[in-house]
Amino acid sequence: MANFDGMTALVTGGSRGIGFAVAKRLIADGAKVALVSTKLEGVVAAASQLGENAKGYACDVSSYDDVQALVAAVLADFGKIDILVNNAGITRDDLLMRMSEEEWDRVLAVNLKGSFNTCKAVMRPMMKARFGRIINISSVVGLCGNPGQTNYAAAKAGLIGFTKSLAREIASRNITVNAVAPGLVETDMSGALPEEARNAFIQQVPLARAGKPEDIAGAVAFLAGPDASYITGHVICVDGGMCMV
Ligand SMILES: NC(=O)c1ccc[n+]([C@@H]2O[C@H](COP(=O)([O-])OP(=O)(O)OC[C@H]3O[C@@H](n4cnc5c(N)ncnc54)[C@H](O)[C@@H]3O)[C@@H](O)[C@H]2O)c1
């Protein structure tokens, strides 16, 4: 029996990159997965690649009301949500000197408030079921900082504080809340980095390569699975050894 037989997962930002790899892995391990992205066409196409156990939904995770409606729709379709993976994220990089208020607000709204919105919406049904696995995708940047990413680092560090506090709030209901902090991973997001910045990043990685989305998916599957049932409030860095904290 696969780890996630009979379980449903909601994966935000599931249309590509890390979120898509996570959805693929959870389905391979037996789960049904609701994939969420801002654009319906892309997420439906991604879900169709994953077969009958995947369904795509359009939702901007930064909108409280839209996330409430999303979770209601997923519960209507699947009956329950056992696993929530808060993976949707964006960057709007700039030195603070040049960063606009819009760049700051948008990155915080998607990367941090998005997780507040989804957790608020799934908490009640998870508490009622006395089971839940919440995995927040942070970043090593939230632990170590990075010039040009004050907004992103603040959001990802905030997500770690959020993870630890929520873990303490709902542990008694058998809901674990953990974070994964990826280093540099080959996706569209990291593809936007200039070659020079990318090479500088890789020079700091003891394993001397960028990660693959599947490397992150493995850590998420571990935290969602039975071998991690006694782990909550933790951050696993999946970064080739870049940020040893
Ligand atoms: N790629 C990396 O090197 C790296 C490193 C550390 C952390 N991360 C984090 O991993 C996560 C996934 O990153 P990725 O590299 O796969 O990015 P990506 O840009 O390839 O994919 C991001 C996904 O999030 C979705 N998304 C964006 N804004 C959204 C919104 N408002 N509402 C719903 N969905 C939204 C996109 O549609 C897409 O599906 C992000 O949280 C990112 O910050 C990535």
**Is position 14 within any domain?**
yes
> How far, in Å, from the CA of 172 to the mean position of ligand 1?
31
- Asked whether residue 35 is assigned to any structural domain, the reply reads yes
| pTM, 2 dp | 0.98
Compute the distance between CA of residue 137 and CA of residue 135 in angstroms, rounded to an integer: 7
Q: At 87, is the secondary structure helix, strand, or coil?
A: coil
Catalytic (active site) residue 57: no
Mutation probe of ligand 1 site: the residue of 90, 159, 180, 205 with most atoms within 8 A of C-beta: 90
Structural domains in the chain (count): 1
Considering the domain boundaries, does residue 151 fall inside one?
yes
Q: Which among 57, 64, 152, 230 is annotated as catalytic?
A: 152
Residue 173 inside a domain? The answer is yes
Distance of CA 208 to the CA centre of its chain: 24
72 within a domain of the structure (yes/no): yes
**C-alpha separations of 224 from 7, 26, 86 in Å:** 11, 9, 12
CATH at residue 112: 3.40.50.720
8 Å CB contact between 32 and 7: yes
Closest Cα partner for 46 from 73, 81, 19? 19
Domain holding 101, by residue range, is 8-235
Local structure of residue 173 (DSSP, 8 states): G
Q: How many CA atoms within 13 Å lie on the side-chain side of 194?
A: 5
- From first to last of its 245 residues, the chain has per-residue pLDDT tens of 578 999 999 999 999 999 999 999 999 999 999 999 999 999 999 999 999 999 999 999 999 999 999 999 999 999 999 999 999 999 999 999 999 999 999 999 999 999 999 999 999 999 999 999 999 999 999 999 999 999 999 999 999 999 999 999 999 999 999 999 999 999 999 998 889 988 988 999 999 999 999 999 999 999 999 999 999 999 999 999 999 98
